[in-house]
Amino acid sequence: MIDIIFEDKSLLVIDKPAGLASQPGEGVAGSVVSVLEKQLGYKVYPIHRLDKETAGCMMLAKDAAAASRWSTMLAERQSHKRYLALCISAPSKETGIYRDALTIRDRPLEAETAYRFIAGFGVLPKEGAGGAPLVSGQPEGRNQRLGEPAFSLVEFRLGTGRTHQIRRHCAMHGHPIIGDDRYGDFPLNRRLKKEAGAKRLFLWAWGLELPGLGIITAAPPVHFIDFLSRWPEAPRLESVLASLSAKMSSKAQHNMDCPSAASSSSHKEVP
């Protein structure tokens, strides 16, 4: 069963589990679409996709017209998808926007990822430190710049929707997502899998801002909760989500009270 977070006459928002593909395809044993159609008994239309290993909010429509309408709202940035990731190391600044072009099918395409550093935690032992566990040691590991945490919780908002955009931008800027088996730190991922049970990609589509519907959020994935619980100084997702939701609600209320400010605001604004 796939959890349905929100439903009305034309829209479904589901809590996609990690490890399930968004759509059917060659070599795909099961997908959100196939499972949901069997569960509901009618055809559904994906409005956007999430990577197979990404958990969280995914939008589907009950008819083709609704799918087109919501897809347009996403493309025109009337609706926004919010992500949280657990990264190795941390961004160099508290907030910013990555605008590195990404090559898709041999073509360089414009890409824009806004980020906000939420919290850092953990240290990495020195290499060759006698098998010291990841939860202790001095902050001088190979994957760590001086004074930076071993890991960080970072929020993202997309200005464009390129394939693997968040994952690629994170890797390009020195803080790959934990568990990323394509762009990440493979040796450290293997160690985290063995010592900290980090078997999945730590990217989560935690929330949606939808016009007329407000803020819709997904439940924290179990693998996020388990990983964070291993470090006493790590942030607690409950308080993080409460703070992020409050900021989103405050911004939405301001835009309703001051529509001219909302219409003139740039999509390049950091969330």
Residues 6+ apart with CB under 8 A from 135: 122, 196, 230, 231
H or E element in which residue 226 lies: helix 222-229
The residues pairing with 11 across neighbouring beta strands, listed in sequence order, are 61
Residues 6+ apart with CB under 8 A from 105: none
Q: Please tell me which residue in 8, 15, 51, 180 is annotated as part of the active site.
A: 51
Q: Name the DSSP letter for residue 31.
A: B
64 to each of 27, 44, 68, 71, 222, how far by Cα in Å? 25, 9, 6, 10, 33
Residues 87 and 152: beta-carbon distance below 8 Å: yes
65 to each of 10, 11, 22, 44, 74, how far by Cα in Å? 9, 11, 20, 12, 14
**If you count DSSP H runs as helices and E runs as strands, how many of each does the chain have, helices first?**
7, 12
Q: What is the CA radius of gyration of the chain?
A: 19
Active site residue 180: no
Cα–Cα distance, 239 to 55 (Å, whole number): 20
Could you list the active site residues?
51
